[in-house]
Amino acid sequence: MTDLTAQPEGEFRAGFVSFVGRPNVGKSTLTNALVGEKIAITSPKPQTTRRAIRGIAHRPDGQLIIVDTPGIHRPRTLLGERLNALVESTLGDVDVIGFCVPATEKLGPGDRFINDRLEDFPRAKKVAILTKVDEASQSEIIDQLTRLGELREWDAVVPVSALTNEQLDVLSDVLLGLMPVSPPLYDSEDTTDEGEDDRIAELIREAALDGVRDELPHSLAATVDDRVEREPNEDGTPGLLEIYASLYVERDSQKGIVIGKGGSRLRDVGERARHEIEALIGRRVFLSMRVKVLKEWQRDPKALGRLGF
Ligand X SMILES: Nc1nc2c(ncn2[C@@H]2O[C@H](COP(=O)(O)OP(=O)(O)OP(=O)(O)O)[C@@H](O)[C@H]2O)c(=O)[nH]1
Chain residues binding ligand X by CB under 6 A are 23-29, 42-44, 46-49, 71, 131-132, 134-135, 161-163
Q: Is 295 labeled as ligand-binding?
A: no
Closer CB to ligand X, 49 or 246, in the complex:
49
Angle, helix 264-281 to helix 252-259, in steps of 10 degrees: 70
CB of 187 to ligand X, least distance (A): 26
The annotation status of 25 as a binding-site residue, yes or no, is yes
State how far the Cα of 150 lies from the Cα of 164, in Å rounded to an integer.
27
Query: Considering beta carbons, is residue 33 or 285 the nearer one to ligand X?
Result: 33
Q: Which residues contact 276 (CB under 8 A, 6 or more apart)?
A: 38, 203, 206, 207
Residue 169 annotated as lining a ligand binding site: no
C-alpha dist (Å) from residue 142 to 39, 104, 134, 148, 164: 31, 11, 13, 10, 19
Has 21 been labeled as part of a binding site?
A: yes
Give the nearer residue to ligand X in terms of CB position, either 160 or 289.
160
Q: How far is the CB of 113 from ligand X (least distance, A)?
A: 14
Closest approach of ligand X to the CB of residue 236, in Å: 41
Q: Which is nearer to ligand X, 210 or 242 (CB)?
A: 210
- Residue 26 in marked binding region: yes
We find the least distance from the C-beta atom of residue 247 to ligand X, in angstroms, to be 19
List C-alpha distances in Å: 294 to 175, 189, 210, 300.
42, 38, 21, 9
- What is the number of alpha carbons within 13 Å of residue 251 lying toward its C-beta? 8
90 marked as part of a ligand binding site: no
Q: What is residue 263's DSSP assignment?
A: G
Here the contacts of 232-239 (C-beta below 8 Å, separation 24 or greater) are: 238/283
Does 132 count as an annotated binding residue?
A: yes
**Closest distance to ligand X from the beta carbon of 32 (Å):** 8
> Nearest Cα to 291, choosing from 196, 200, 221?
221
Alpha carbons 34 and 161: distance in angstroms, whole number: 11
In this complex, which beta carbon is closest to ligand X, that of residue 216 or of residue 266?
216
Annotated binding-site residue numbers for GTP? 21-28, 68-72, 131-134
